[in-house]
Structure 1
Amino acid sequence: MDDDIIAGGNCGSNDCPTVFRTSRPGFVAVQGYTIRTIRTPDGESAVEVPEALIREAARALGE
């Protein structure tokens, strides 16, 4: 999935916050640090990422 990285993912060990392009048009996947204090429906989860990562992804997507 490395070819699908939009932003982040440059820590060298594949365990840092990253934004990925997915096969679903208009969707991205976000890898981050799990937040267990936010309740989510089954099949969903909340993750925390640096604010700068979101800005980087928006620039990369032309937003």
Structure 2
Amino acid sequence: MIYTLCKNVIKSGNYEHQSMQNKLDVFLLGNRITSKQYTELCDLMKAQQATTEQTQSID
């Protein structure tokens, strides 16, 4: 459930990067998400951040 919620928030782009990273760290440490899910969510954030930076540089 936490994994799905985090994934939806990240896909929406409605988050602050460092805050979400901290939450993912806590969820991993608390065994609320697996290391595989953690890696996937971090990669998703990195990809979204790169896309946002590319869009901003074009404008």
> If the length of structure 2 is used for normalisation, what is the TM-score?
0.36
Pick the structure with more strand per residue.
1
> If the length of structure 1 is used for normalisation, what is the TM-score?
0.34
Where relative contact order (Cα < 8 A, 6+ residues apart) is larger, the structure is: 2
